[in-house]
Structure 1
Amino acid sequence: MSDSHGQWDFEVRSKKSARYAWIAAGVLVLVHVTLAILLRTSATGVYFRLVDQFAMAGIGLLLACGVLLLTRPRLRVGPSGIAVRNVLGERFVEWDLEQGLSFPDGASWARVELPDDEYVPVMAIQANDGDHAVHAVRKFRELEAKYTGSRT
């Protein structure tokens, strides 16, 4: 995707979720490859072929790729607006539509508030990131004040 919305002043991603996703993906691949190797050597009562071993390893790779989608969430803030990329897809919100960033009690991640009680979840700022999330929210609000003026 080209950067058609100009310069970005701030970009943030979740730290812990990405780390956990990489670890989980590695474990999935390791377990499935190990099972694939052991399929033909263990006495299970079923005869497994080489293609079954490759299929087991392939399933592990596919599952790992699915888990790695959790490393995609990102929030970018710039003069023209906010770009929120979650697991699938990205949404751009112009400053005149944005009505603040909130972190509701008990929520796992922040959200950009929009008119008519709508919002865009921001998986890049997650509660489990602690101080990193606090810094991200503060930086967002600082830039929000800069680009929206006295509206906030």
Structure 2
Amino acid sequence: MRYDSPLAAVGNTPLVRLPRLSPSEDVRIWAKLEDRNPTGSIKDRPALHMVEQAEKDGRLTPGCTILEPTSGNTGISLAMAAKLKGYRIVCVMPENTSQERRDLLAMWGAEIISSPAAGGSNTAVRVAKELSEEHPDWVMLYQYGNPDNA
């Protein structure tokens, strides 16, 4: 398949039958290969959905900055969507998050703000909420409480 943008490829992952895995011949088992999404993660689907819903309801408009507390895959997927749609993204993550995740976020153009490791994701959320208050024009999609994260 050819796509004009990685965003068009999100969710268009192969469905593969897994023969001989079921104890019954009447049951067919299929696997959706979500690792074939552009960032290699199933999180591409809900991340793109959150961005598109925020655009649809008018919270996210051209020139906006997305703010997101994250520890990994959803943030990476949001960074991809932000980059390809022309948004700036700021991700808050615990300082002990792996370098690999930081590198992937940076590859997609995300600005990374580190929060203390001791509090884990809860501290990243607190720091992001503080930043949201300091920058009311930033849009926090908030994966942890967003009903569009589905």
TM-score normalised by structure 1 residue count:
0.29
Choose between structure 1 and 2: higher helix proportion: 1
Choose between structure 1 and 2: higher strand proportion: 1
Larger radius of gyration: 1
